[in-house]
Structure 1
Amino acid sequence: MNRISLVCADMAGTTVSDGGIVEQAASVALEECGIPAGSSGHDSAMSYIRQTMGQSKIEVFRAVTSDEDTAQLANASFERNISALATDGRITALPHAVDALKALRDKGIKIALTTGFAPATQDAILRALDWETLIDLAVAPGKELRGRPNPDMVLHAVLRLGIDDVREVAVVGDSVNDVYSGLRAGASVVAGVTTGSHDANALRKAGATHVLDDIGQLPGLVGA
């Protein structure tokens, strides 16, 4: 295995428990766009949202709504509601996450947290957890960065943090989209964790180089 200089870790389901606020905010967003809870359209959209956890939320809303204006309205509602919900105490660190991040940094490994949320939402979650000083970089999709399954966020972290070789990168996440993103970026370690969206079978099928019970096993894997 290559020496690991950077870990790109997903947030919800990997390092963070969202306490159900992601689905709650998504459900409200659909309702505000005229897709009422209990309808077949709402049920179908929520099923798709669960299946595509880890993807950029605007891309998900584009897939489940009828046009760009509605998708933008849904995304704005989602981000507004989840930012508000982020402060209600339901967002917590997953077991072993803080210790794992500290162990990585103690060994000189840089940490970038990636997400499918908008930057403002990511910032709200980091503030709620008091994690700003625990990481080196927070990366979210935006106008110049595509969300997962594209490799943009990982490659952005590589450039911003001065990593010389993508083979010195480990990517860890709970969804197949995290795996796809890491593989497309050329990371030498693309680890799935079974604490979130997808099970070990799905993560292996997507191409994960390793499947872990939780992020607490990552420091041992990458030599921290």
Structure 2
Amino acid sequence: MTDIRLVVLDMAGTTVADGGLVERAFAAAAAEMGVEPGSADHTEKLAYVRATMGESKISVFRHLFGQEGLARRANSAFEKAYGELVDGGHVTELPGARAAIEELRADGRTVVLTTGFARVTQDAILDALGWRELVPLTLCPADAAGRGRPYPDMALTAFLRTGAAEDVRQIAVVGDTSYDMLGGVRAGAGVVAGVLTGAHDGAALRAAGATHVLGSVSELPALLRGADTA
């Protein structure tokens, strides 16, 4: 297996525990858009949000509300609600996540954190966790031509911006959703690892192309050390 030099890590569900905040923020956005709680429309839209965990949130709202103006209004309401929950102290790191990132960096690997949220929300999470200086680069869809997962753009942007790897096969993409896995496959990553701390189970992760399924991100440093010697 090719030496992994660049690790592209998802945030919510992979390194960050948000305790269902995506659904709570969606409920606030839906109310802003006049979607009646408990209605069939609300149930259908919530099911889509759950099914597309990991995708760029603006893309999700474009699907749900159609018109660009409505999608942007819903997305703004979602980001505002999520930001308020973050400010309220509802976001924490998943056990061992920071230690794993530090371990990866100590092993000489470059780590990039990615998200499907907007930059303002990503920054709020980083500030809440004290992670601003933890990694050299963080990316949201707007940093990669506006396309989030399942497109490979954020992983490839990390590859280009960091210069940490010479070949896309030296990238590891790690996340908790099938969209993370599909994005990693499309990027040509040598390791596409799913973790079981978030939205999707092992069967869904493998079906989307995961090369490995881990209990949590804390297992990643050992996996990649094994890859070094394989």
Asked if Structure 1 and Structure 2 have the same fold, meaning a TM-score greater than 0.5 normalized by the shorter chain, the answer is yes
Aligned position for 2:147 = 146
After TM superposition, list the pairs within 5 Å mapping 1:82-97 onto structure 2: 82-97=82-97
Unaligned runs of 5+ in 1: none
CA distance in 1, matches of 2:88, 2:193: 31
Aligned position for 2:102 = 102
Cα deviation digits, residues 33-68 of structure 1 (max 9, x gap): 111211111111011101100000011011111422
Matched, 1:199 2:197: no
CA distance in 2, matches of 1:134, 1:105: 10
**1:96 offset after TM fit, Å?**
1.5
Percent of counterpart pairs with the same letter? 52
Matched, 1:19 2:19: yes
**1:19 offset after TM fit, Å?**
2.3
**1:145 offset after TM fit, Å?**
3.4
CA distance in 2, matches of 1:82, 1:31: 14
After TM superposition, list the pairs within 5 Å mapping 1:1-224 onto structure 2: 1-142=1-142, 144-162=145-163, 163-223=165-225
SS in 2 for 1:142: helix
CA distance in 2, matches of 1:81, 1:37: 16
CA distance in 1, matches of 2:224, 2:146: 27
Aligned pair count reads 224
* Deviating 4+ runs (over 3 angstroms): none
Unaligned runs of 5+ in 2: none
CA distance in 2, matches of 1:181, 1:218: 18
What root-mean-square deviation, in Å, do the aligned CA atoms of Structure 1 and Structure 2 show? Answer: 1.2
**Comparing 150-159 and 34-43, the one that deviates more:** 34-43
Cα deviation digits, residues 158-180 of structure 1 (max 9, x gap): 11101321111100000000000
More helix per residue? 2
**1:20 offset after TM fit, Å?**
2.2
**Comparing 131-140 and 173-182, the one that deviates more:** 131-140
**Comparing 189-198 and 140-149, the one that deviates more:** 140-149
**1:69 offset after TM fit, Å?**
1.7
SS in 2 for 1:147: coil
**1:133 offset after TM fit, Å?**
1.4
**Comparing 111-120 and 63-72, the one that deviates more:** 63-72
TM-score scaled by length of structure 1 = 0.97
SS in 2 for 1:86: helix
**Quick check: 1:145–1:153 contact (8 Å CA) kept in 2?**
no
**Quick check: 1:116–1:147 contact (8 Å CA) kept in 2?**
yes
Cα deviation digits, residues 120-154 of structure 1 (max 9, x gap): 11011000000111112100011723100000000
Q: Which amino acid aligns with 2:133?
A: T
**Comparing 47-56 and 77-86, the one that deviates more:** 77-86
SS in 2 for 1:8: strand
TM-score scaled by length of structure 2 = 0.95
Q: Which amino acid aligns with 1:168?
A: Q
